[in-house]
Amino acid sequence: MVERVQRLAGAAKKLPVPEGTWAIGAGLIVVGLSAYGFQILAAKRLTSNDYNALNDLWALVFVFSPGLFQPLEQEVGRAVAARRARGEGGGPVVKRAALLGAILALTVIVIAAIFESKIIEDVFDGRGILLIALFVGIAFYFVAFITRGTLSGNGRFGAYGLMHGSEGGVRIIACIALFAVGTTSVGPWGFALAAPPLIAVAISLRGQRGLMDPGPDAPYSELSGALAWLLLGSVLAQLLSYVSVFGVTWLASDSQKDLASHFITGLFVARVPLLLFQAVQAALLPKLAALASEGKHDDFRIGMRRLIGVVLVLCTTGVVAATLIGPWAGQKLFASKWSLHNRDMFLLTLAATAFIVALTLAQGLIALKAYKESAFGWIVGIVAFVVTVALGNDLILRNELGFLAGGLAAAVVMAAQLIPRMRRGGATLQDLVEVVEHEPLEI
């Protein structure tokens, strides 16, 4: 296996590297690692009840923010890049997307404000400050995603990577400061999660000029004719990624709050393959897109097979490693908030791997313009989670199996819809790569 990985890595080095690839990959790794630093430090300072409420905030922020705004980022990047190729300014496209994003952000905030009391009591366990942090996180991430799309569309990939890296850097610095002064109140930790995106925007835009050049008016159709389906699928994908957090915190009795926090720490350890998958996407997929655009289809097919091999090795290694050493590592990192065993880590990491497969297949459906079918696959995954959890009794096991069932169900439905379409044609290999080359999953 080691020789196989070395051959794959050597082959990857021979592929051309588009501008900004490594900057984006490095930024994604920094922001991913900062997420784990946040979790480790918060777990050591907060009570189980506060830690559970903080992770409900975390899940809500990363369901709604990437779910609603990442499709806008991608569409802005695509549309602005297309305008640049025609010699037209992308300012009107950015403004149109920003207006739509602002409406989406405001809608979520207004709905949450209407149900303020229920959300504070049922979701945040009476911690009203976390609802304010949720509003801040949604608003700031809206600005960040629109900025990312503007930067990528203008080819400013160095600044794009800097935004990811600075967000993670600011967050971990804030967490270290909170940990150092012994902060045990959950509010500051909530704002350490929510505030960094806007600071990262300010850092990444320093010295940037010509991002909003004037051009022809931009109708909504220039963004996408199926944006509603893209948004639905994106939100559902993020929801499946975090639904077990909601499941374990909402189903836990008062005597099980500590146990719920142990599940959450285990889930984050099990999600390490997702972090590595981000790095693989950022580093290798743009190279494959370059080969396809140059007409080197034989090299492309070889590269794609090698990429699939890398992903399979990565996922297999992740499952084995998490099963064997995950409990030991978790005990060292999370101490009093860890009690999971080898079986738990096997199920959780296998579930994360199934989710990676479903995500990749969904991106293939999007490349084939099967937007409704992709959203349907995520719906099936969510239903599978709910049914599995409802049939179980053990708090931890029912959520582990629910996450696994949801990922597997979504992957099977996606595959059943994607494979026949691929055989019938309708998309080029380049289409399939382009739809995933800038699709980092927000951890």
- Once rounded to an integer, what is the mean pLDDT over residues 76-86? 82
In DSSP notation, 235-272 reads HHHHHHHHHHHHHHHHH--GGGHHHHHHHHHHHHHHTH
Q: Please check whether residue 322 is in contact with residue 346, taking contact to mean a CB–CB distance below 8 angstroms.
A: yes
Single-letter amino acid, residue 284: L
Looking at the chain, the whole-number percentage of residues with pLDDT higher than 70 is 78
Q: Which two tokens stand for residue 362?
A: 């969904």
How far is residue 412 from each of residues 103, 239, 310, 415, measured CA to CA in Å? Answer: 34, 18, 21, 5
pLDDT number for residue 436: 47
pLDDT number for residue 9: 43
pLDDT number for residue 147: 94
CA distance 80 to 230: 18
Question: Which of 6-15, 20-29, 56-65 is most confident?
Answer: 56-65
CA distance 423 to 122: 48
Output Rg (C-alpha) for the chain, integer angstroms.
21
User: Residue 49, CB half-sphere, CA atoms under 13 Å: how many?
Assistant: 10
Nearest CA-CA partner of 67 in 228, 215, 264, 180: 228
Between residues 32 and 380, the one the model is more confident about: 380
Q: Please check whether residue 199 is in contact with residue 168, taking contact to mean a CB–CB distance below 8 angstroms.
A: no
CB atoms within 10 A of CB 253: 9
The mean of the pLDDT values for the chain is 82
Question: Which of 66-75, 292-301, 413-422 is most confident?
Answer: 66-75
DSSP3 helix / strand / coil % (the chain, rounded to 5) = 85, 0, 15
| pLDDT for residue 290 is more than 70 | no
pLDDT number for residue 29: 75
Q: Please check whether residue 84 is in contact with residue 156, taking contact to mean a CB–CB distance below 8 angstroms.
A: no
Between residues 28 and 188, the one the model is more confident about: 188
In DSSP notation, 10-41 reads HHHHHS---TTHHHHHHHHHHHHHHHHHHHHH
Tell me the pLDDT band of 293, cut-offs 50, 70 and 90: low
Q: Which two tokens stand for residue 160?
A: 């794009």
Between residues 93 and 173, the one the model is more confident about: 173
Give the residue extent of every domain in the chain.
19-225, 226-443
Nearest CA-CA partner of 227 in 78, 112, 28: 78
Q: Which two tokens stand for residue 284?
A: 């290798």
| pLDDT tens digit sequence for 126-144 | 999 999 999 999 999 999 9
When mean pLDDT is compared across 125-129, 311-315, 351-355, the lowest value belongs to 311-315
pLDDT number for residue 297: 58
pLDDT number for residue 311: 67
Tell me the pLDDT band of 11, cut-offs 50, 70 and 90: very low
**181 burial level (CB within 10 Å; 0-12, 13-18, 19+):** exposed
How far is residue 160 from each of residues 164, 258, 334, measured CA to CA in Å? Answer: 7, 39, 32
Its sign, for the CA torsion 230, 232, 238, 244, is negative
When mean pLDDT is compared across 233-247, 254-268, 314-328, 332-346, the lowest value belongs to 314-328
**76 burial level (CB within 10 Å; 0-12, 13-18, 19+):** buried
